Amino acid sequence: EAGVTQFPSHSVIEKGQTVTLRCDPISGHDNLYWYRRVMGKEIKFLLHFVKESKQDESGMPNNRFLAERTGGTYSTLKVQPAELEDSGVYFCASSLAAGRNEQFFGPGTRLTVL
Partner 1 sequence: GDSVTQMEGPVTLSEEAFLTINCTYTATGYPSLFWYVQYPGEGLQLLLKATKADDKGSNKGFEATYRKETTSFHLEKGSVQVSDSAVYFCALTSGTYKYIFGTGTRLKVLA
Among 41, 63, 70, 71, binds partner 1 (CB under 8 A): 41
Residue 81 CB burial class (10 angstroms; 0-12, 13-18, ≥19): middle
* 37 touches partner 1 by CB under 8 A: yes
Closer residue to partner 1, CB minimum distance, 71 or 99? 99
Q: How many CA atoms lie within 13 A of 102 on its CB side?
A: 3
Cβ proximity of 26 and 4 under 8 Å: yes
Tell me the CA distances in angstroms from 12 to 43, 47, 70, one per residue in order.
20, 23, 26
Q: Which of 21, 23, 34, 35 binds partner 1 (CB under 8 A)?
A: 35
Q: Based on the shown chain and the rule CB under 8 A, indicate whether residue 55 belongs to the binding site for partner 1.
A: yes
82 belongs to the binding site for partner 1 (CB under 8 A): no
Q: Residue 75 interacts with partner 1 (CB under 8 A)? A: no
Cα separation of 56 and 46, whole Å?
Answer: 8
Pick between residue 40 and residue 71 the one whose CB is nearest to partner 1.
40
Between CA 51 and CA 49 the distance in angstroms is 6
Binding site for partner 1 (CB under 8 A): 3-4, 6, 31, 33, 35, 37, 40-45, 48, 55-56, 59, 91, 93, 95, 98-100, 102-108
